[in-house]
Amino acid sequence: MVEKPKLSEVLAWSGPQIADFLSGIYEHSSWVAQELVEQSDGSTSCKLDGISTIGELANAMKQIVDDSSTEQKLALLRAHPDLAAKVESMRSLTTSSQEEQSSAGLQSLTPEERQKFTTLNTAYKTKFQFPFILAVRNATKYTVLAAMEGRIQNASHVEMASALTQVHKIAWMRLLAAIDVDNRKGFLTCHVLDTANGCPAANMRIHLHRLSPSDKAGFIDEFFTNNDGRLPNGPALKGDDPFIVGTYEWTFFVADYFASKGTFVSGVPFLDQVPLRFGLDDPDEHYHVPLLVSPWSYSTYRGS
Amino acid sequence: MVEKPKLSEVLAWSGPQIADFLSGIYEHSSWVAQELVEQSDGSTSCKLDGISTIGELANAMKQIVDDSSTEQKLALLRAHPDLAAKVESMRSLTTSSQEEQSSAGLQSLTPEERQKFTTLNTAYKTKFQFPFILAVRNATKYTVLAAMEGRIQNASHVEMASALTQVHKIAWMRLLAAIDVDNRKGFLTCHVLDTANGCPAANMRIHLHRLSPSDKAGFIDEFFTNNDGRLPNGPALKGDDPFIVGTYEWTFFVADYFASKGTFVSGVPFLDQVPLRFGLDDPDEHYHVPLLVSPWSYSTYRGS
Amino acid sequence: MVEKPKLSEVLAWSGPQIADFLSGIYEHSSWVAQELVEQSDGSTSCKLDGISTIGELANAMKQIVDDSSTEQKLALLRAHPDLAAKVESMRSLTTSSQEEQSSAGLQSLTPEERQKFTTLNTAYKTKFQFPFILAVRNATKYTVLAAMEGRIQNASHVEMASALTQVHKIAWMRLLAAIDVDNRKGFLTCHVLDTANGCPAANMRIHLHRLSPSDKAGFIDEFFTNNDGRLPNGPALKGDDPFIVGTYEWTFFVADYFASKGTFVSGVPFLDQVPLRFGLDDPDEHYHVPLLVSPWSYSTYRGS
Amino acid sequence: MVEKPKLSEVLAWSGPQIADFLSGIYEHSSWVAQELVEQSDGSTSCKLDGISTIGELANAMKQIVDDSSTEQKLALLRAHPDLAAKVESMRSLTTSSQEEQSSAGLQSLTPEERQKFTTLNTAYKTKFQFPFILAVRNATKYTVLAAMEGRIQNASHVEMASALTQVHKIAWMRLLAAIDVDNRKGFLTCHVLDTANGCPAANMRIHLHRLSPSDKAGFIDEFFTNNDGRLPNGPALKGDDPFIVGTYEWTFFVADYFASKGTFVSGVPFLDQVPLRFGLDDPDEHYHVPLLVSPWSYSTYRGS
């Protein structure tokens, strides 16, 4: 496996090297990466100036697409493979696209579903004049069919915005797959509030696991909340090694906490070990993932 | 393994048989079961009249304890084993009590924790004049120590109420372990609301698993919500076989749903497969366990 | 004041009458109403067939706009008045537009704010080639300026979708203002769950007020929830007279409820009389507006 | 109106002065205040040592009650007036008790309700051997009757704990009414999270009003949230003057915020101006009252 270059290394390369490296981020549309490093008159672009995070790099490329003409946008959309052809051959796709627009689900279509898929796919192309694009890793056939059924009803100007959102999302996943983000600024924090008693949940036991990527999966750490209901020693994850883009899970030992507080919980508690499963998508952002909990209800949200 | 009698069978027994069978539900306090079937003058009690569910049976026994004198209540509390002695020998406990007040955690106390435990346990008995009782299945040492530290600060009248709550909970767990509840009236329902778009979440995929008891654990079923965000064919669990007291988990395919709606979710979605883990404690009750969800937040509660 | 025709009356008119009546729903774009009743070859359209609610009428007109060409959409957007000119003169607007895009706030701009407004407004028109449109009744200057600052950063295809959303919303408000919706199908329901005790909140007192429109404002009714936490006699509002588009407020007597349950609330309760203020926008829809509440937290949502 | 002494002044008084001043905090039970300043052997108590807030003073007095014998507790409960007698004459109550246990509601009982009230009140006294006590300011007849119906079903040990909770709450309200708390440590903060977009709600307009006490009621301030969704200049209330025990209301301009973000809200928005009404009960505590909001749902809680 070829090692991924670090972001700081990529940013130190020459313009042509960068443009070459990023040429496949937008499907068959190397002009986006080209414009990132070079102006239309051939002089050097300053669009890389001031960029230090992968989010800023993604935004700079997105901005180029967003500022392009309607014709360029349509060309970009049309450069994407047709899902039907993909299901047939799996050959015409760039390797990246195979991963992001998994056809696994589509290969298990029943004859009836295949008929529905083909009809929708053809109608979609006829109506919008570009192929159906869906940026969902490991999308199942249910998701693909439901998305097709929903989006084919959109007005053309709405669906164009929708399709470009998918394209930007694919670009983001490709950037993360291509570049090793060092000096990550992101961190993960937590907070537990006891909504039955109106106070922070002190001394609650919490476990943190990483669920994906699979080669980094496993138990990470155990915490006991402090008197303010927060982790006792700062962020649960911080820095290059632990703060990895992927899926994580808190486990909150809720029944134990309420038992120790004297709040009634039933024999088989309605809430005992409460899992919160969440994704970290940007290696440079702060993710605050709290729990508001009573013995009979809870909620969570992306906080700040 | 001896087969458990059905509730309908138990209720058909003679008074003395019932009193004998239920004599251990309240620790070393067979007078509770005795009073259930017999009045103080020796005549038959009518406290079993009208009882048809295990919840009603538990309430009838609880009522006897609650209506007893302060002296009787104290005697009941004092009939419970001392946790310290239990940790030493594991011999003086009734078998049931060993299961409900697991000492597993207490057997792994560090010397420092053991010192703390002994000090708290002694201080507790001195202050309240009855042993510390905690009805938490598989309680860890953390829970036991935290509960001791919290409850020792209670006023005596508050702690008496707290200890009796534990005793009633132990009685409930013993009843469920002793009796096979047939003709269960309980059922499990679900509802998913999309709080980003202000509508029911239609066509969301949901899986249901049973996590415990272990011999009944496994995948149960897959559902797709209808246009009102509910399960398409009534309750997910209903009737004797499937509606088993234990721990369950919904898995909601949230990112797929929002992708098909065109609502933006990130590359690694903040919420993708959302697990809700919950306990069913009473075989005759309705459990409504809904999900309110946006791509960035969710909540659940025991509904109705 | 001219009396508004009923929806059923309008739908019984001739095609030309309907087209004339609805000609101003989309700003200076009578072709939308025209196309509703007539095909491009002059023959009668069937787009009114099957319509029986104002929501269906609005959707039919929206569909015509959504299916039109990019040039027609741009022409529709450009038919809207320039906010700057509006602030200057208040004369070039159709009467409807004056109400929906209130310039009240803009007339109180400080010199500094006026400078900012003019700069943003000019930049917006230059970038997108159509005027800034914001469908917010009684919009304050804060909202207008914040919306301008946010939307000017959009890509052109995103902002086109955003502007058309505003246009459809204006059309909806104009339809509601022009037509008297009889035989309303909408109704309002409630449900209160006690998340501290994990059960429906029975016997909670609730008041319902209408806050707007002002000529219909006032106290509507008092309710006490039943054992399932619901209103005892069906919907709180149902039928033509009470189910009026406007703003409403539930008041839940939460501290009283918890006091009667024996759940602790403080001297000045954190939650006492809890107001939920919400809008009913569509006379034919079901609005379910529940409360999930503990003494220290609550939530609400548009349910179903 | 007699001016209230400051807490710092009270704490500087002699023991007998303090005992005299606090003699009525617990109904007809001056021994509580006596024990606060004097030990049973007549020597000075150190229970006032280290007290600097009204919460600590209340806790010290509560501790004396909680540590007293069952007989003393029963005597304290029995020192409270009988509600029935109160309704008859309004004469036997201490002035403080009249305010805390308002009989306003009870004076408007219908004959049928009066019958029910008398029956419940007599049954309560017969069962528990002390009068019914309910610490709810301005309690309505509904609350009183519902509380009686609920609590009469309690076991005696449970109801004793419940009644003492009411007594402690009355003591707290009397302390706050008797003493002017200077050098308040409390403060009020806010935070707004946008759960539709998964980010802090920046630049949202918020108003704060005080609703009670009536002589201090009115508009307090307007805020615009910063980029982290918080108040821009620290706490909304802090210090002796503004941080007054009473009822407050945030108003969040939610529809304006979402309009400026481009998130769809309907013509009459489901959520427009969202009121959160909450009580500040302790002049020395931090109250964090946040809003989590989408265009179709919101929640709040006492945070930290």
Chain A hits for B256, CB-CB cut-off 8 Å, are: 136, 139-140, 142-143, 146
Q: So what CATH class is B7-178?
A: mainly alpha
Nearest CA in chain D to B165: D158
D196 in B contact zone (CB under 8 Å): yes
C172 in D contact zone (CB under 8 Å): yes
pLDDT band for C162, please (50, 70, 90 cuts). very high
**pLDDT exceeds cutoff 80 at C90:** no
- Quote the tokens at residue B164: 């009796």
Choice between A146 and C40, residue whose per-residue pLDDT is larger: A146
Choice between D271 and C101, residue whose per-residue pLDDT is larger: D271
pLDDT of residue B12: 94
CB C23 within 8 A of CB C33: yes
C205 min Cα distance to partner chain D (Å): 8
Rounded distance, CA C193 to CA C215, Å?
Answer: 33
**pLDDT exceeds cutoff 80 at C23:** yes
Asked if the Cβ–Cβ distance from A70 to C197 is below 8 Å, we say no
Size of interface A-B (CB pairs under 8 A): 154
> How far, in Å, are A144, A145, B116, B223 from residue A110 at the CA level?
14, 12, 64, 18
**pLDDT exceeds cutoff 60 at B23:** yes
Alpha helices in A67-202 (DSSP H): 70-78, 83-89, 95-100, 111-128, 141-151, 156-178
**pLDDT exceeds cutoff 90 at C3:** no
* Highest-scoring range by mean pLDDT, A80-94, A182-196, C38-52: A182-196
pLDDT band for C104, please (50, 70, 90 cuts). low
Mean pLDDT over D62-88 rounds to 91
DSSP reduced 3-state for C275: strand
C195 in B contact zone (CB under 8 Å): yes
- Quote the tokens at residue B100: 């409900």
When scoring C77, C296, C298 by the number of chain A Cβ atoms within 10 A, the one with the most, hence best to mutate, is C296
Chain B hits for A274, CB-CB cut-off 8 Å, are: 277
Alpha helices in C13-100 (DSSP H): 15-21, 31-37, 54-66, 70-78, 83-89, 95-100
D197 min Cα distance to partner chain A (Å): 9
pLDDT band for C170, please (50, 70, 90 cuts). very high
Q: How many Cα atoms are found within 13 Å in the side-chain-facing hemisphere of B259?
A: 32
Compare CB distances from C228 to B292, B302, B304 and report the shortest one's residue. B304
The chains in contact with chain B, meaning 3 or more Cβ pairs closer than 8 Å, are: A, C, D
**pLDDT exceeds cutoff 70 at D95:** no
Mean pLDDT over A153-167 rounds to 94
CB C230 within 8 A of CB C204: no
**pLDDT exceeds cutoff 50 at D173:** yes
> How far, in Å, are B256, B273, B278, C179 from residue B204 at the CA level?
8, 11, 20, 37
Asked if the Cβ–Cβ distance from B150 to A296 is below 8 Å, we say no
Nearest CA in chain B to C191: B304
User: pLDDT tens for residues C263-298?
Assistant: 888 899 999 999 999 999 999 999 999 999 999 999
Size of interface B-C (CB pairs under 8 A): 33
Average pLDDT, chain B: 90
CB D105 within 8 A of CB D143: yes
D240 in C contact zone (CB under 8 Å): no
- Quote the tokens at residue C233: 């006699």
Asked if the Cβ–Cβ distance from C135 to D267 is below 8 Å, we say yes
DSSP per position, chain B: -PPPPBHHHHHHS-HHHHHHHTTTSSTT-THHHHHHHB-TTSSBP-TTTT--SHHHHHHHHHHHHHTS-HHHHHHHHHTSPPHHHHHHHS-SS-HHHHHHT--TGGGG--HHHHHHHHHHHHHHHHHHSS------TT--HHHHHHHHHHHTTS-HHHHHHHHHHHHHHHHHHHHHHH-B--S---EEE-BEEETTTTEE-TT-EEEEEEEESGGG-EEEEEEE--TTSB-TTS-SEESTTT--SEEEEEEEEHHHHHHHHT----SS-SSSEEEEEEEE--TTSEEE--EEEETTEEEEE-B-
Rounded distance, CA D209 to CA D216, Å?
Answer: 10
- Quote the tokens at residue D215: 């002589």
B298 min Cα distance to partner chain A (Å): 6
> How far, in Å, are C202, D166, D168, D180 from residue D55 at the CA level?
33, 16, 12, 13
Chain A hits for B280, CB-CB cut-off 8 Å, are: 268
Sheet strands side by side (includes D286-288): D237-238, D187-189, D286-288
Compare CB distances from B146 to A150, A203, A264 and report the shortest one's residue. A203
DSSP reduced 3-state for A220: strand
CA-based end-to-end distance of chain C: 37
Rounded distance, CA D36 to CA B166, Å?
Answer: 34
Mean pLDDT over D35-59 rounds to 90
Residue spans per domain, chain D = 7-178, 187-299
DSSP tag of D44: B
When scoring B32, B157, B159, B192 by the number of chain D Cβ atoms within 10 A, the one with the most, hence best to mutate, is B157
B197 min Cα distance to partner chain D (Å): 7
Asked if the Cβ–Cβ distance from C296 to A73 is below 8 Å, we say no
C161 in A contact zone (CB under 8 Å): yes
Residue indicated by tokens 């993710």: A287
Nearest CA in chain A to B147: A260
**pLDDT exceeds cutoff 70 at D92:** no
C224 in D contact zone (CB under 8 Å): yes
Rounded distance, CA D97 to CA D166, Å?
Answer: 12
Strand D273-280 with B286-288, pairing = unpaired
B195 in C contact zone (CB under 8 Å): yes
User: pLDDT tens for residues A231-266?
Assistant: 999 999 988 778 999 999 999 999 999 988 888 888
Q: If we measure between CA atoms, which residue out of B231, B242, B69 comes closest to residue B160? A: B69
- Please list the helix, strand and coil fractions of chain D in percent, rounded to the nearest 5, in that order: 40, 20, 40
CA-based end-to-end distance of chain B: 37
Task: Give percent of chain B with pLDDT exceeding 90.
Answer: 73
User: pLDDT tens for residues A124-153?
Assistant: 999 999 999 998 777 788 888 989 998 999
pLDDT band for C91, please (50, 70, 90 cuts). very low
Rounded distance, CA C31 to CA C22, Å?
Answer: 10
User: Whole-prediction pTM value?
Assistant: 0.93
Asked if the Cβ–Cβ distance from D304 to A199 is below 8 Å, we say yes
D195 in C contact zone (CB under 8 Å): no
Q: If we measure between CA atoms, which residue out of D199, D200, D197 comes closest to residue D262? A: D197
Asked if the Cβ–Cβ distance from D304 to A228 is below 8 Å, we say yes
- Quote the tokens at residue A171: 């670009």
Compare CB distances from D302 to C205, C282, C296 and report the shortest one's residue. C296
User: Could you give phi then psi for residue D207, rounded to 5 degrees?
Assistant: -110, 150
CB D38 within 8 A of CB D27: no
Reported as type and span, the H/E element at residue A294 is strand A291-294
Find the range with the poorest average confidence among A93-102, A221-230, A272-281, D199-208.
A93-102
Chain D hits for A302, CB-CB cut-off 8 Å, are: 193, 195, 198-199
Q: How many Cα atoms are found within 13 Å in the side-chain-facing hemisphere of C233?
A: 7
Chain D hits for A198, CB-CB cut-off 8 Å, are: 301-302
Compare CB distances from A281 to B246, B267, B301 and report the shortest one's residue. B267
D181 in C contact zone (CB under 8 Å): no
- Quote the tokens at residue D176: 């706050």
pLDDT band for B241, please (50, 70, 90 cuts). confident
Rounded distance, CA A174 to CA D162, Å?
Answer: 62
CB A48 within 8 A of CB A37: yes
pLDDT of residue D99: 52
Rounded distance, CA A38 to CA A46, Å?
Answer: 8
DSSP tag of A204: -
Mean pLDDT over D182-188 rounds to 91
Mean pLDDT over D134-161 rounds to 88
**pLDDT exceeds cutoff 70 at C89:** no
CB B95 within 8 A of CB B170: no
Rounded distance, CA C54 to CA C176, Å?
Answer: 8
Rounded distance, CA A269 to CA B139, Å?
Answer: 13
- Quote the tokens at residue C287: 């609005």
Asked if the Cβ–Cβ distance from C198 to A157 is below 8 Å, we say no
When scoring A195, A254, A264, A272 by the number of chain C Cβ atoms within 10 A, the one with the most, hence best to mutate, is A195
Chain B hits for D294, CB-CB cut-off 8 Å, are: 195-196, 198, 294, 297
CB B107 within 8 A of CB B46: no
Strand B246-253 with B237-238, pairing = unpaired
A264 min Cα distance to partner chain D (Å): 13
What is the amino acid identity at position C170?
Answer: I
User: pLDDT tens for residues B167-222?
Assistant: 999 999 999 999 999 889 999 999 999 999 999 999 999 999 999 999 999 999 99
Rounded distance, CA D49 to CA D180, Å?
Answer: 20
Give residues with Cβ within 8 angstroms of A7, minimum separation 6. Answer: A53, A54, A57, A179, A180, A181, A182, A183
- DSSP E strands, chain D: 187-189, 192-194, 199-200, 205-212, 218-224, 237-238, 246-253, 273-280, 286-288, 291-294, 297-301
CB B190 within 8 A of CB B236: yes
pLDDT of residue B198: 96
B273 in D contact zone (CB under 8 Å): no
Which CATH architecture does the domain made up of B187-299 adopt? Answer: Sandwich (2.60)
**pLDDT exceeds cutoff 70 at A58:** yes
D157 in B contact zone (CB under 8 Å): yes
Mean pLDDT over B229-237 rounds to 95
Compare CB distances from C198 to A65, A292, A295 and report the shortest one's residue. A295
Chain B hits for A262, CB-CB cut-off 8 Å, are: 147, 150-151, 154, 162
Other beta carbons within 10 angstroms of residue B298's beta carbon come to 23
CB D27 within 8 A of CB D130: no
ipTM value: 0.92
